[in-house]
Amino acid sequence: MRLSKIDPRTPPEPSRPRRAVAASASPTPSRRVFLLSATAAAAAVAAGLVPRLVRPAQADDARRASAPEQFEVAYSDAEWRKRLTPGQYEILRQEGTERPYSSPLNDEHRAGTFACAGCALPLFSSRTKFDSHTGWPSFWTPLAHAVGTRSDTTFGMVRTEVHCRRCGGHLGHVFDDGPKPTGLRYCMNGLAMTFNPQAA
């Protein structure tokens, strides 16, 4: 069973150019990532939630450079293609982004739990969902121990990528312009998730 989690569109580490980060990143975005982390942790404690939140990007980069990330649930690329719909595969395994307002989960307002479409791990509670007016299902915090993050420098931006902790499937990104109590906006692809009503 192959355990690699390598974006097929990018060259394998360590050839992924770190100079691109230096060229495109001003001190401001780096600092924002760090502040995001500290603010999020404090807010999560205040909210009585202890999810796995944004970690400093530097630590993620260092870990990524040393070894490919491994996940509890791992399949070969061919197996993932069989298990997922083409749309799910594009998002979860190729870090695609669905068209805004294209997912029915954007308008899902019932009580329940949003789970990973790749491995069924519960990811978000409906209690933390809010309307971000972006066209993507948005949450102010994930469930505890549900997601992992890493720095994403594609498209000339510095963003924090969010993936399923168990299978590594790409879910979306997290931004620091969300509502109270965390101030975070987990901007998710609806295709990457399934919804289970009343399970929250």
**Contact footprint for Zn ion (CB under 5 A):** 116, 118-119, 121, 164, 166-167, 169
Query: Is 167 a known active-site residue?
Result: no
| Nearest to 99, CA basis, from 142, 135, 133 | 135
Q: How far is CA 76 from the centre of its chain?
A: 21
Q: What is the DSSP letter of 110?
A: S
Q: How far is the CB of 168 from Zn ion (least distance, A)?
A: 7
Residue among 122 and 178 whose Cβ is closer to Zn ion: 122
Phi first, then psi, for residue 16 (nearest 5°) are -60, 120
Q: How far is the CB of 167 from Zn ion (least distance, A)?
A: 3
Q: What is the DSSP letter of 152?
A: E
Q: Which two tokens stand for residue 44?
A: 């999560």
Residue among 88 and 126 whose Cβ is closer to Zn ion: 88
Distance CA 189, CA 166 (A): 17
Q: How far is the CB of 14 from Zn ion (least distance, A)?
A: 26
Catalytic member of 116, 164, 167, 187 = 187
Q: Identity (one letter) of the amino acid at 152? A: D
Residue among 16 and 52 whose Cβ is closer to Zn ion: 52
Query: Any idea which residues carry the catalytic annotation?
Result: 187
